[in-house]
Amino acid sequence: LVPGFRIGWIAADRAIVERVARVKKATDFATPVPLQAAVAAFLKANGDRKLRQARAEEVSLRAAAAKQALREQLPEVSWWGGAGANPLFWLHLPEGTSGRRVTEAAAARGVGVAAGEDFDPRGEDRSNVRLSVSRVERKDIGPGIAALAEAMRDVQTRSRAALAAHVL
């Protein structure tokens, strides 16, 4: 839930647990006892389950908003992802559209996506971008995807202009 709390449990042979405890003492100043007690009470009350369920519901709503915005703003783009509480989408841009350039143009408009080349084993610029809506407010998803669509179309226009200039 909160990595900074540094609270965890381990089940192992006694020798392993003792060694892990020594390493933890040498590398960590320990989590304060009141914080450990508060987290224990939170977990005992199933607060983690309630929190995870609420988070999953919110992410599902964000994914649904992204699907709607993608259909409206980028009908020429195919994609997969966004099922259930999955906030990730893999967008297949029109053939020949640079994922890297779209990523840069989107960033200039305040939208963060990851270029397909970041996921390509050879690092080749692909006509793909990865979009995540896990930390995006629902109200910002539609405008963000509209800005992404604008970025993609701008990249396509520039690419056609550069190709035309090169041919001449």
CA 114 to chain centre: 9
- pLDDT band with cut points at 50, 70 and 90 for residue 131: very high
- Residue 46, by phi and psi: left (phi above 0), alpha (psi -120 to 50) or beta? left
Mean per-residue pLDDT of the chain: 89
Under 8 Å between Cβ of 78 and 95: no
Model confidence pLDDT, tens digit, residues 35-52: 878 888 888 888 788 888
Taking 60 as the threshold, does the pLDDT of residue 3 lie above it? no
pTM of the predicted structure, to 2 decimals: 0.72
The pair phi, psi for residue 90, each rounded to 5°, is -110, 110
- pLDDT band with cut points at 50, 70 and 90 for residue 161: confident
Residue 112, strand partner residues:
none
Distance CA 29, CA 39 (A): 18
Taking 80 as the threshold, does the pLDDT of residue 166 lie above it? no
Residue 4 has what pLDDT? 63
Residue 168 has what pLDDT? 58
Closest by Cα among 104, 105, 112 to 136? 112
- pLDDT band with cut points at 50, 70 and 90 for residue 107: very high
Q: Which of 67-76, 141-150, 154-163 has the lowest mean pLDDT?
A: 154-163
- pLDDT band with cut points at 50, 70 and 90 for residue 97: very high
Q: Which of 76-80, 148-152, 161-165 has the lowest mean pLDDT?
A: 161-165
